[in-house]
Chains A and B, each alone.
Chain A
Amino acid sequence: AQSVTQLGSHVSVSEGALVLLRCNYSSSVPPYLFWYVQYPNQGLQLLLKYTSAATLVKGINGFEAEFKKSETSFHLTKPSAHMSDAAEYFCAVSDFGNTPLVFGKGTRLSVIA
């Protein structure tokens, strides 16, 4: 069965600094991978997705993620953090895109002025 591990339940960065949120997956078949963001009292919004095409995926709000099969990783990055990036971030996996999403436990990103 597929699973996702997000390293670090809370990450704090200064405004303008690099954002790096870590995600490792486990899947017995080629995975489809996703990053979602959740603001307080809201649902989840898709940031970006990997569906077996380009390994470097660009998403909304300046975020991007790189699929590395050898490391079973799909880390999320943004070159320069903005105060509005403060939110909860979730990594998720689906087998071939055919199965319901399985989520990691989430990482809370804080941005310090």
Chain B
Amino acid sequence: EADIYQTPRYLVIGTGKKITLECSQTMGHDKMYWYQQDPGMELHLIHYSYGVNSTEKGDLSSESTVSRIRTEHFPLTLESARPSHTSQYLCASSAHGLKDTEAFFGQGTRLTVV
């Protein structure tokens, strides 16, 4: 059973508000990721981290930012939410090394900006 948690599960918020989506894992994984999933199902990598104080932007340009101060925690922040940010956000983690390379996913946060 994967131990990666996202909160909140659902969020409806007004335009211009600052929001933080939380993601925590208890597996001690070095690598963590944020994916954005559009209504057509496709997943796009928006941020990833290979360890504490290491963050990189993904393939899809995003106005969000991330931080990695602790191994287990990888929050995503939107300084000023807009309707175009409405989407599902999925957090994932994976172990370092070549043996256990699969990513474990949280249940996602469905964000609606009105």
Residues on A facing B (Cβ under 8 Å):
32, 34, 36, 38, 41-46, 49, 51, 88, 90, 94, 96-98, 100-103, 105-106, 108
Chain A residues contacting B90 (CB-CB under 8 Å) are 43-44
B105, CB-defined interface residue at 8 Å: yes
* B103 and A101 form a contact (CB under 8 A): yes
* B42 and A106 form a contact (CB under 8 A): yes
* B33 and A100 form a contact (CB under 8 A): yes
* B107 and A42 form a contact (CB under 8 A): yes
Among A32, A34, A100, A106, the residue within 8 A (CB) of B41 is: A106
Chain A residues contacting B41 (CB-CB under 8 Å) are 38, 88, 90, 105-106, 108
- Complexed CA–CA distance, A88 and B35 (Å): 16
CB distance from A1 to the nearest CB of B (A): 9
Kindly identify, within residues 65 to 114 of chain B, every residue whose CB is under 8 Å from any CB belonging to chain A: 90, 92, 98-99, 101-108, 110
- Complexed CA–CA distance, A49 and B59 (Å): 23
Q: Is the interface of A mostly helix, strand, loop or mixed?
A: strand
* B101 and A49 form a contact (CB under 8 A): yes
* A100 and B101 form a contact (CB under 8 A): no
- Given the known interface contacts A42-B108, A43-B107, A100-B48, the answer about A49 and B102 at a Cβ–Cβ threshold of 8 Å is yes
Q: Can you report 12 A-B residue pairs in the complex whose CB atoms are below 8 A from each other? A: A36-B105, A41-B107, A43-B90, A45-B105, A88-B41, A94-B101, A97-B98, A97-B101, A98-B101, A100-B45, A105-B41, A105-B42
The residue of chain A having its C-beta at the shortest distance from the C-beta of B33 within the complex is A100
* A102 and B101 form a contact (CB under 8 A): no
For the complex of A and B, 8 pairs with smallest distance between CB atoms:
A97-B101, A43-B105, A106-B41, A44-B105, A103-B43, A43-B107, A105-B42, A46-B102
